[in-house]
Chains A and B, each alone.
Chain A
């Protein structure tokens, strides 16, 4: 009955768009895979996201952005985590993100980008295999 280390994921929506259906679908898939998902709702600033990620001791921050501001917002979260000595927290992103932006985002430290075509199973598998090395 020894318990296993539980994977914790913060699912956050930075930026100003008001749609969180995609984020909720992912949140449910992660829950059904046995993870604890902290859901913080719409319109989060990178500062709020990083504060929550640290207080909640998450393994992964999943960012969803449909507004087009991902090139600014995602790297900012990575940067702030680093500044708080929390670079071990993995950042992944999703939403409407053009192929052309992906190399830049990855270079700025976002570990993976999931585009609308990705299945939730792929997201679960990615997080399972990359989280929990803390």
Chain B
């Protein structure tokens, strides 16, 4: 396809407009998206991928901006993906994380992109894996993803990045024990941001205590750091902690394991989405017709479900046989 070749050439030339266009292409899963991705060289990523997660308003964007600044200052090429929720009703979204990125504007070596979650509920967006592929190809040495930020354990991010930073704020304190299930377990580095507010020390100690209770799972001791993202205080230490974690990942073989997990997820995710859209494209009428029967009590969801999936698979096999 002409358009894809053109885009590939411009990507090779490190054209930011082409990168931006390519990202939209894989987000909209337009024709040519998988063709484009399949044309990228298969070399494995040299990018380090960091995820920032935590409850709404905890300072994820501000912290991301400061991290990006420090990485830029030491000569890294930085890509940022900022994910905000899409409305499940309209499919639209207001993406506002960029408001906190003002101090990065005009700098070379950085690319910032806001993404709507578009129906995904794991804290990332449908297309995040594909978008990452493009950023890695483009040669960013550090990629930081700010998740939607529900404050729950956003499992997708764990399966996608090398290091997970969980951001908490003072005052969570009393119910740290009851902190959303799973959030303790996903942190590689814990941050108590807004340490300029009352109760930061207390929250810090409580998180440390809670972490101790679950220690012994890995070799890596999860550091708990205090930051004031708005002033930049503690950010140098956070960068150091992330460097240390990355070194641990590389030395222990865990990096390889995490990347395999990500590839598996990406592969299965792609196949699932292809199968799903093919199923809906071919079986919509069947679904509608059978639904009427179910509603009227003539049959049930599971009988119909078995019938429809078998019918789909059989037709698929026949079609493929004809083509061979």
Interface residues of chain A, those whose CB is within 8 Å of chain B, are 1-6, 8, 27-28, 30-41, 47-48, 51-52, 54-57, 84-86
A34 engages B99 (CB within 8 Å): no
B119 to chain A: closest residue by CB? A3
Residues of the A chain whose Cβ atoms lie less than 8 Å from the Cβ of B118? 6
**A31–B21 touching, CB < 8 Å:** no
Q: Are A36 and B93 in touch, CB under 8 angstroms?
A: yes
Chain A residue numbers with a CB within 8 Å of B21 are: 57
- Chain A positions within 8 Å of B114 at CB level: 36, 38, 56
Known contacts A6-B28, A38-B114, A40-B98, A85 near B92 by CB under 8 Å: no
Beta-carbon nearest neighbor of A42 in chain B: B99
Per-residue interface assignment for chain B, residues 1 to 39, with 1 indicating a CB less than 8 Å from any chain A CB and 0 otherwise: 000000000000000110011011001111000000000
| B173 touches A (CB below 8 Å) | no
Question: Is B94's CB under 8 angstroms from A39's CB?
Answer: yes
Chain B residue with the shortest CB-CB distance to A1: B280
At the interface with chain A, which of B65-73, B105-113, B149-157, B258-266?
B105-113
* Interface check B277, CB cutoff 8 A: yes
Find chain B residues with CB under 8 A from A85 CB: 17
Question: Could you tell me if B94 and A3 are in contact, using CB atoms closer than 8 angstroms?
Answer: no
Which of A27, A40, A48: most chain B CB closer than 10 A? Answer: A40
> Are the C-beta atoms of A55 and B106 separated by less than 8 Å?
no
Which chain A positions have C-beta within 8 A of B105? 47-48, 51-52
Please report the C-alpha to C-alpha distance between residue A54 and residue B18 in the assembled complex, in whole angstroms: 10
The answer to whether A51 touches B106 (Cβ under 8 A) is yes
Are B94 and A37 in contact, with the CB atoms below 8 A?
yes
Q: List 11 A-B contacts (CB under 8 A).
A: A5-B24, A6-B28, A31-B90, A31-B93, A32-B92, A36-B116, A39-B96, A39-B99, A41-B96, A41-B102, A56-B20
Q: Given A54-B20, A56-B114, answer yes or no on A1-B28 (Cβ-Cβ < 8 Å).
A: no
Please state if B106 and A32 are interface contacts (CB–CB under 8 Å).
no
Question: Do A31 and B87 have beta carbons less than 8 Å apart?
Answer: yes
